[in-house]
Amino acid sequence: MRNPSVRPFQDFSTGAACLNKSFIYNYTCGKNQTHISFPYLSLTSFSCRCSATMAAEEKQMQRFDVEKAASLMKELRNNYNSRKTKSYEWRMSQIQSIANMIEEKEEEIIEAIHKDLSKPPFETFISEISMTKSSCKLALKELKYWTKPEKAKTSLTTYPSSAEIISEPLGVVLVISTWNYPFLLSLDPVIGAIAAGNAVVLKPSEIAPATSSLLAKLLEDYVDNSAVRVVEGAVAETSALLEQKWDKIFYTGSPRVGRIVMAAAAKHLTPVILELGGKSPAVVDSTINLQVTTRRIIAGKWMANNGQACIGVDYIITTKDFAPKLIDSLRNELKEFFGKNPMESKDLSRIVNPFHFARLASLLDEDKVSDKIVYGGQRDEKQLKIAPTILLDVPDDSTIMKEEIFGPLLPIVTVSIVSSAHFKLKACF
């Protein structure tokens, strides 16, 4: 309770602190007195609106748009033109810093990837941490050789001149990474770009937000930010980056987005590396060691991020008479890998997000496919988990056979004879 004339705007700025207070107004005219009391609710509401407006304006200022992308490119271009990134010592120091970062922050990296994919720690160590360490180790060992001029032969017409090939950095490069191996597939091309003497911008995948955020934080702390930057965000931020004239773009992801990246690069004649998906079959005949083959298929399919890997087995081609034996072997070995109820296994990654869960579910629910399941098929939308699933003889024109599966579904296509004359390897681009 207080007089409104005493600093009435002090509480106006404190938001929720005003909720339990009242605004008192006393009016006296002769013998008549009026007492008006009302809560600060309207003031608090106004304060909230002010705060929301200020927050929106601040967010607008922080948004990474084409103008900020151009400013970033200009800054990195100037720093690259200073030739600091070309020095052998700079390259070595940056790669060594990344190696130190991985060593010192291993637990944080494992935790972030587990948040994004529920990927088992051992799988993360093998497929992401150790492989990124190997990339650092290789670059540190071979960089002096890679930068060494290479003598080249000359023709008689240029006698008595001599020639050599000198490897030069391209300039400022853009790396757009993907979500299924969010650490390895972000840093591996960055290490290569630094080793080549380039300035580099990394755009991690927003579908793996914990890893993206960690990469932004760690690289800011460990490497030279005048030449190596991380830009977080989604479509808007990526589009802003693609408007710029890069000296090279390295993209890992889907063919659909790959087309967008290539079209944007074509405007500036920017060279592009696209690491895209496709259909990658395993061809199995009756002469193989069945147990060894089965275990390798399981490792290449479900132990590789639960099928969410471009190098994983997409489908199997085998003969009609051998298919039952192969399916029985897969059933038995899957129980050895993931137990009787794989949905409860801690060694099986979840599907990355609801969109991809729904996409995979739609592949299974298609009328011409739903009755082809011979093993698995269980799913839990709440946990974003789909069990290892085997399908037999799905129609060739079904969606699951027309696009990259990128999940724990494994169709088996049977043929009379395993021969290139009897089946067509499918790719989708």
pLDDT over 50 at 14, yes or no: no
pLDDT over 70 at 235, yes or no: yes
Q: Spell out the domain ranges in the chain.
A: 66-148+167-276, 281-428
DSSP string, 28-71: EETTEEEEEEEETHHHHHHHHHHHHHHHHHHHHHH---HHHHHH
Looking at the annotation, which residues are catalytic? Answer: 275, 310
Residue-wise pLDDT tens digits, 344-356: 999 999 999 999 9
- For domain 66-148+167-276, the CATH superfamily is Aldehyde Dehydrogenase; Chain A, domain 1 (3.40.605.10)
pLDDT over 70 at 12, yes or no: no
pLDDT over 70 at 315, yes or no: yes
Fold type of domain 281-428: Aldehyde Dehydrogenase; Chain A, domain 2 (3.40.309)
Q: How far apart are the first and last CA of the chain?
A: 71
CB 244, CB 225: distance < 8 Å: no
Q: What pLDDT is recorded for position 425? A: 58
pLDDT over 70 at 426, yes or no: no
Q: What is the pTM of this model?
A: 0.82
Q: What pLDDT is recorded for position 70? A: 97
Helix axes 106-117, 88-104, angle to 10 degrees: 70
Residue-wise pLDDT tens digits, 256-268: 999 999 999 999 9
> 89: burial class by Cβ within 10 Å (0-12, 13-18, 19+)?
exposed
Amino acid of residue 121: P
- The mean predicted confidence, pLDDT, of the chain is 87
Does 281-428 match 66-148+167-276 at the fold level?
A: no
Within 8 A by CB and 6+ apart from 374, the residues are 327, 390, 391, 392
pLDDT over 60 at 140, yes or no: yes
Cα–Cα distance measured from residue 355 to residue 404, given in angstroms and rounded to the nearest whole number: 15
CB 328, CB 294: distance < 8 Å: no
